[in-house]
Amino acid sequence: MKLTKDKLISRVRISLEKLEYSFFKESITGAQGFFSKKLENGFYLSLGLTIDRCSDDAFCGTFYYSKTVRWSAVWGDIPDESYIRPGHLLSEIERKDYFNTNNKNLYDYWWNGFEDLSIAHFVEIIKLTEVRLLNNNYLKNRIEDSIDVSKLSNYSSEVKTAVVKISSLNSSYSFIPDKEIDRIPMEWFKAAEYTLKKHKGILNKNTVKSLAADAFIQNILDNKI
């Protein structure tokens, strides 16, 4: 039996929701399962799941810590450490115990999506390592200082403002999708294209989709606090 997106999400969703993550149907970043939450400092912590293409049952998870929820976005001056797998946040002794290995260089561990114990260990490690990631003040300051993070964050803020008045704006649209994606209403894609045009940003179908999804998910998380 092959591990699918739906099976994996159903196996981890309840446990991750207990850690205050919200699940989103999100296909734009390429994650096979996407969870995110807003933090008290105004940042977002996202967790994307990836299914191993060469295995029938293996998966891994990767954190993304930033002022946006654009999982895996680390271009420009965005710190690479914003996008990190939990194994890199464990000590050598912890990796030996949790991963059952003597390979001290094993950081990218893959869990079995069909085994209860493996799922339990995955959730336990997420709970353990997310605290270490969030306590990294050096990384937090680098994210704060990133020009590219600020640009993406400002774009999303403007989309959240523009979407409520999009029907009254006199604008044409060339890069919005033909229909809703991931249950995101069309107004969000229109607001994303409008914002990118306004700032003369990179404008194509992919940038419009990414910005719309970022702002839409942020808006849901913002209203949960």
Question: In this structure, how many other beta carbons lie within 10 angstroms of the beta carbon of residue 62?
Answer: 18
> 117 and 80 share a domain?
yes
Q: How far apart are CA 117 and CA 96, in angstroms?
A: 16
Domain closes at, from 122, 145, 168:
145
Residue 114: φ, ψ to 5°: -105, -10
Helix/strand number for the chain, H first, E second = 7, 6
Determine the structural domain holding residue 40 and report its residue range: 5-145
> 120 and 101 share a domain?
yes
Domain closes at, from 111, 145, 179:
145
Domain closes at, from 109, 128, 145:
145
Tens-binned pLDDT, residue by residue, of the chain (225 aa): 899 999 999 999 999 999 999 999 999 999 999 999 999 999 999 999 999 998 999 999 999 999 999 999 999 999 999 999 999 999 988 898 888 777 777 788 999 999 999 999 999 999 999 999 999 999 999 999 999 999 999 999 999 999 999 887 778 899 999 999 999 999 999 999 999 999 999 999 999 999 999 999 999 999 986
> 152 and 138 share a domain?
no
Global pTM reads 0.94
Specify the number of domains making up the chain: 2
